A and B are shown apart, each in its own frame.
Chain A
Amino acid sequence: MSTQSVTVRKRSRLKKHWNEQKWLYLLFLPGFLYFIIFKYIPMSGIVIAFQNFSPYAGFQGSEWVGLYHFKNLFMGSDFMMLLTNTLGISLLSLVFYFPAPIILALFLNEIRSKKFKRVAQTFVYIPHFISFVIVATLTYQLFNISDGIVNQIIEAITGNTVNFLGSPKYFRGMIVGQSIWKETGYGTIIFLAALSGVDTQLYEAARVDGAGRWRLMWHITLPAIKGTIIIMLILRVGSILNTGYEQIFLMSNDLNIAKAEVFDTYVYRRGIIQGQYSYATAVGLFKSVVGMSMVLTSNWIAKKSGESGIY
């Protein structure tokens, strides 16, 4: 008797809950299905990294090979080349590209002319919205060795031309330079937002106390954006093996490929072009796992040292 009434009550509560929230469930459904189909099914697709996957045999029929592809990757001669190229670009951008928006934001923050600041901001945000195809096209038109304007200028001064686009030794610099050109302006937004929250009275008080520009910047402005800088650094470190396909792919050619092959382009070439699905998935999985552990570790370190992390 009593258990029966409990189930009845439970059922009526469920019914009430359903009546109350059924429309929310309905709104939830499309996005839920999207995440399952386009995010979680591919996540389960990583099992093929442990198989000799063939599209004809399918996920179930393909032979299991354990860590064979990972052994191939780590023992193979490509691994060191990929790691050097990828880290080379990442570290160079960590040193030059990461601080660029911070510096520009600090500069913009010091500009008192509203008009000058607005015009400058309008210009520097534009490249963010331009595709990498166009960026690569512009780079080609400016830097190519036969009629690029940069080379024409260099030739006029030194009498020599520099093969920026077809020589491995310039590849990293070109990539990081493109990133700086494209994303520095847009990257300032987040720092400027943090700076707009600083109490101006702090500056007034410090100025009365005789603090100069550098001291104001060092003791008031920088601490105000410290949290933001750390968050951005965590994200940056987490994507240290993520150099992106598009930019590198569009800038690489037969001449500079020695420095241009990174994990992302390698996965594309081995997987989609050559059809070595399992091996390419193993490379991608290695990259994802490293990226995830980097984010979690740097987040943990940030939290330990008293900063707010992202997760």
Chain B
Amino acid sequence: MAQAQGTKMKTNKIKSKSKIKRSVGDQIIQVIIYLGVGGFALLTLLPFVYVIAGSFATEKELTERAFFLFPKEFSLNAYNYIISSGDIFHGLKNSIFVAVAGTAINMFFTTTFAYAVSRKKFKLRNFGLNMVLITMLFSGGMIPNYLLISNLGLLNSFWALLLPGAINAFNLIIVKNFFQEIPSELEEAAKIDGCNDISIFYKIILPLSKPVLASISLFYAVSHWNDYFNAMIYITDQKKEVVQIALRRIIFMAGGIDLSGESIDYGIFGAPPEKAVKMAATVVATIPILLVYPFIQKYFTQGVMVGAVKG
């Protein structure tokens, strides 16, 4: 990074000689800007580096050295402990289910409704849009929502994590705006060929909207994955624990005993590194997000977020 910065400054110098000379003040500002941005980027990264490095270290090293990018003694003890206790994997499995099923439900409800209200001729278009806008301004709040879930008999069921957020109003508006931008000639041509609204929807509109659908489904999937509060209030059964709940529990208790109550043999490194176990659990819960992150980044730069704010 520093190298890129250096070469850039050189090219800037050459450019400024040929064009208008930059003042000393401008040069100083340039340095401040690079330092500021570079510094903030490092600041966002350091906690992750610290935790990943720590998760591979021995407890001894973690207590002796304050900070390191690479552990001197590479150890998989923490991961062995996590795998043998199986604790967080149960949560991972539940979270994968909730994220996949939840995103499928999200996409079904969001795209069908968005398509209907994106058609200018549709009689309930304005009614539907206003219905959405009102929910963006006002909501019943936590307790009425909780009572609804409880009255529907969904407490302690995965449905409580899947249904209540089936449509996110911001995402809905992004998708609706995208559908509206698709040239209506395509639709008219399909009509002549005998397509009805439903076949136009899934044969023409959906395939043409792949980028926006990809980014919206990633947003939905990430929000399911990260959800903690709903799982905390709606799910009390430990078998249905999601990964965020599991992580929280592990952070506040880690010991050398597996789920069956047997103590675990860790070989030459001795007792499980408690601090490293917490770090390893953090890494395991974060990795799925970091794996999908490149895909997220690919799509969100296409400017779909801009549509959201202007409504």
Contacts and interface: CB of A to CB of B under 8 A. Distances in A.
A140 B282 CA distance: 11
Contacts of A246: 228-229
B138 A132 contact: no
A162 interface: no
A73 to B, nearest CB: 14
A124 interface: yes
Given A26-B198, A42-B148, A212-B25, A31 B116 contact: yes
Q: Which of A45, A181, A212 has the most CB of B within 10 A?
A: A45
B112 interface: yes
Contact of B198 (A23, A140, A277): A23
B143 to A, nearest CB: 4
B47 interface: yes
Interface string B41-73: 111110110110010000000110011000000
A310 B311 CA distance: 7
Interface stretch (B209-217, B260-268, B295-303): B295-303
Interface residues of A, number: 96
Contacts, number: 278
A184 interface: yes
A203 to B, nearest CB: 12
Contacts of A311: 133, 311
B20 A129 contact: no
A292 B137 contact: yes
A38 interface: yes
A42 B20 contact: no
Contact of A23 (B51, B164, B197): B197
Nearest to A295: B137
Interface string A6-34: 00000000000100110111111011101
Nearest to A28: B116
Nearest to B226: A131
Contacts of A212: 23, 25-26
Contacts of A119: 1, 4, 41
Contact of B141 (A20, A112, A267): A267
Contacts of B305: 189-190, 193
A104 B124 contact: no
B157 interface: no
Interface in B75-124: 108-110, 112-117, 119, 121-124
Contacts of A56: none
Contacts of A152: 66-67
Interface in B132-177: 132-133, 135, 137-148, 150, 163-164, 166-167, 172
B109 A30 contact: yes
B121 A32 contact: no
B147 A149 contact: no
A131 B123 contact: no
Contact of B142 (A232, A284, A296): A284
A112 B8 contact: yes
Given A31-B116, A181-B43, A310-B309, A107 B36 contact: yes
B112 A31 contact: yes
A35 interface: yes
Contacts of A45: 140, 143-145, 147-148
A138 B145 CA distance: 31
B148 to A, nearest CB: 5
Given A141-B51, A281-B144, 8 more contacts: A45-B143, A124-B41, A126-B290, A129-B289, A141-B47, A141-B282, A231-B310, A280-B142
Interface of B: 1, 4-5, 7-8, 12, 20, 23, 25-26, 29-30, 33-34, 36-38, 40-45, 47-48, 50-51, 54, 62-63, 66-67, 108-110, 112-117, 119, 121-124, 128, 131-133, 135, 137-148, 150, 163-164, 166-167, 172, 196-198, 201, 222, 225-229, 233, 244, 247-248, 251, 275, 278-279, 282, 285-286, 289-290, 293, 296-297, 300-301, 303, 305-306, 309-311
Interface of A: 17, 20-21, 23-28, 30-32, 34-35, 37-46, 48, 55, 104, 107-108, 110-113, 115-117, 119-120, 122-127, 129-134, 137-138, 140-142, 147, 149, 152-153, 156, 181, 184-185, 189-190, 193, 207-208, 212-214, 228, 231-232, 235, 245-246, 249-250, 264, 267-268, 271-272, 277, 280-281, 284-285, 287-288, 292, 295-296, 310-311
